[in-house]
């Protein structure tokens, strides 16, 4: 008994001294550490300590908020929110039931658990924090208002959607980075535009399948050939073929890459007008299409309104991620870029421009991958209506480093396939996304 008490006393003394020693060592270490830090590092340390303190306090406030019996399931107040349809959604008969009266669609979202929710004035159904309602779109543009009424008052969320009333399956074919064919025609002084193999090949696809093409062109090539050097002697031929072949601005030149990503709107508009003026001069008014793809698909958001004022109604992009960053997306925000990555189109009401998702890039899709790329889209209501088909001019030319001998076959494979499935060839600048308005 005595020995056990003695043992306890000894171990208690040892434990206390161990703790004391550890504290001493820690303090000494901290003091030494602080001593070797320079002034800037010390400042940084103080800031971090202050920030962690504030974060701890905020977490405390958060925890206090959690304990309050308000709001939805998690306890944190979330205002009413429409999740479907998306703000700016382009809706067609594929998204609901359409008849003479309009397009009936489902609206759904989240609202605080105990709140009463109305959608455009009519009571919505509740299921937990979810709400759903049906509404009828009668106009081309409809504002949808979801309102929740509860202990924290009334809250609203509004979205606006477009009804593409006369929508029909359609495709548009856009070819980017054009300059070599114009230089070729100017150099060789052909009797006909279609003596140039490139235009000849496109005309064959038009004759065979009724395909239409918009060629997005540069003002100048890297070896100095510029549009002002292009003769207007082919004007009649351009005009005779303007129902299926259009010319549009793409950029001033191929280089530098991403020329308008950080450029002021005024630079972009000045370049657009330079090219537009030349197209009208050598090919006539009917040949001109406002641009629907800007080189690299990147520009400043402040350029959208000026583009609309210059006739732009649609802009096509890839809306894809590159190393986790949304790219070739006209610098749209992440939420809308993600939406566009899996939808045909989205309206930007601020500018009036509709964004279109490119569905296939023929120069980067081998022949055997063309149908497997397009086919799944036809089974998705959000991507089935509009085929935005795309390629680049340089891959047609044997002198180009990445020349594709089967480029025309790739185009033909895509065009034949969409034609067989009832897609109509359109130009995006006509009507609404090429369809009747």
Interacting residues toward Zn ion by CB under 5 A: 176-177, 295
- Least spacing, CB of residue 176 vs Zn ion, in Å: 4
Angle in degrees, 0-180, between the axes of helices 197-209 and 180-188, rounded to the nearest 10: 120
- Least spacing, CB of residue 177 vs Zn ion, in Å: 4
Nearest residue (CB) to Zn ion, 177 versus 388: 177
Nearest residue (CB) to Zn ion, 176 versus 327: 176
Nearest residue (CB) to Zn ion, 59 versus 257: 257
Nearest residue (CB) to Zn ion, 176 versus 271: 176
- Least spacing, CB of residue 288 vs Zn ion, in Å: 18
- Least spacing, CB of residue 284 vs Zn ion, in Å: 24
Nearest residue (CB) to Zn ion, 86 versus 355: 355
Nearest residue (CB) to Zn ion, 60 versus 256: 256
- Least spacing, CB of residue 371 vs Zn ion, in Å: 25
- Least spacing, CB of residue 218 vs Zn ion, in Å: 9
Tokens of 357: 């998702």
- Least spacing, CB of residue 305 vs Zn ion, in Å: 22
Residue found under tokens 């793409």: 250
Nearest residue (CB) to Zn ion, 124 versus 294: 294
CA distance linking residue 172 with residue 386, whole number of Å: 8
- Least spacing, CB of residue 295 vs Zn ion, in Å: 4
Nearest residue (CB) to Zn ion, 170 versus 295: 295
Tokens of 314: 């649609």
CA distance linking residue 2 with residue 419, whole number of Å: 101
Closest CA to 118 of 90, 160, 82, 163: 82
- Least spacing, CB of residue 411 vs Zn ion, in Å: 17
CA distance linking residue 426 with residue 437, whole number of Å: 13
Nearest residue (CB) to Zn ion, 295 versus 407: 295
In the bound complex, which residue of the shown chain has the CB atom lying closest to Zn ion?
Answer: 295
- Least spacing, CB of residue 296 vs Zn ion, in Å: 6
Nearest residue (CB) to Zn ion, 148 versus 179: 179
C-alpha distances in Å from residue 39, one per residue of 13, 34, 43, 45, 364: 41, 10, 6, 10, 55
- Least spacing, CB of residue 294 vs Zn ion, in Å: 8
Nearest residue (CB) to Zn ion, 177 versus 385: 177
């Amino acid at each position: 008994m005595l020995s056990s008490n003695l043992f306890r006393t000894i171990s208690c003394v040892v434990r206390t001294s161990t703790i004391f020693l550890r504290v001493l060592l820690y303090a000494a270490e901290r003091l030494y550490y602080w001593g070797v830090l320079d002034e800037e590092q010390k400042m940084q340390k103080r800031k971090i300590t202050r920030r962690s303190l504030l974060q701890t306090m905020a977490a405390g406030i958060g925890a206090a908020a959690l304990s309050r019996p308000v709001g939805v399931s998690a306890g944190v107040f979330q205002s009413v929110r429409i999740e479907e349809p998306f703000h700016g959604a382009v809706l067609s008969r594929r998204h609901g039931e359409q008849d003479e009266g309009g397009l009936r669609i489902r609206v759904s979202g989240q609202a605080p658990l105990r709140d009463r929710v109305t959608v455009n004035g009519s009571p919505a159904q509740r299921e937990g924090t979810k709400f759903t309602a049906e509404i009828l779109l009668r106009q081309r543009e409809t504002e949808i208002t979801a309102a929740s009424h509860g202990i924290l008052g009334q809250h609203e969320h509004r979205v606006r959607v477009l009804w593409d009333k006369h929508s029909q399956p359609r495709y548009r074919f856009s070819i980017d980075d054009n300059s070599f064919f114009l230089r070729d025609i100017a150099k060789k002084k052909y009797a006909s535009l279609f003596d140039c193999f490139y235009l000849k090949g496109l005309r064959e696809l038009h004759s065979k399948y009724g395909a239409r093409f918009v060629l997005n062109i540069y003002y100048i090539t890297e070896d100095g050939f510029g549009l002002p050097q292009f003769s207007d002697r082919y004007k009649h031929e351009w005009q005779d073929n303007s129902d299926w072949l259009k010319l549009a601005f793409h950029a001033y030149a191929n280089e530098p890459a991403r020329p308008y990503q950080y450029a002021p709107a005024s630079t972009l508009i000045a370049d657009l007008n330079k090219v537009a003026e030349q197209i009208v001069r050598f090919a006539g008014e009917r040949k001109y299409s406002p641009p629907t793809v800007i080189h690299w698909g990147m520009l400043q958001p402040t350029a959208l309104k000026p583009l609309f004022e210059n006739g732009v109604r649609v802009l096509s992009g890839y809306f894809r991620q590159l190393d986790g960053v949304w790219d070739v997306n006209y610098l749209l925000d992440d939420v809308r870029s993600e939406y566009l990555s899996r939808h045909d189109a989205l309206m930007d009401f601020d500018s009036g421009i509709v964004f279109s998702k490119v569905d296939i890039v023929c120069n980067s899709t081998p022949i055997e991958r063309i149908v497997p790329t397009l086919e799944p889209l036809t089974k998705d209501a959000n991507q089935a209506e509009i085929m935005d088909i795309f390629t680049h001019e340089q891959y047609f030319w044997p002198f180009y480093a990445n020349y594709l001998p089967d480029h025309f076959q790739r185009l033909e494979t895509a065009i034949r396939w969409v034609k067989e499935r009832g897609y109509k060839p359109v130009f995006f600048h006509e009507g609404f996304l090429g369809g009747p308005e």
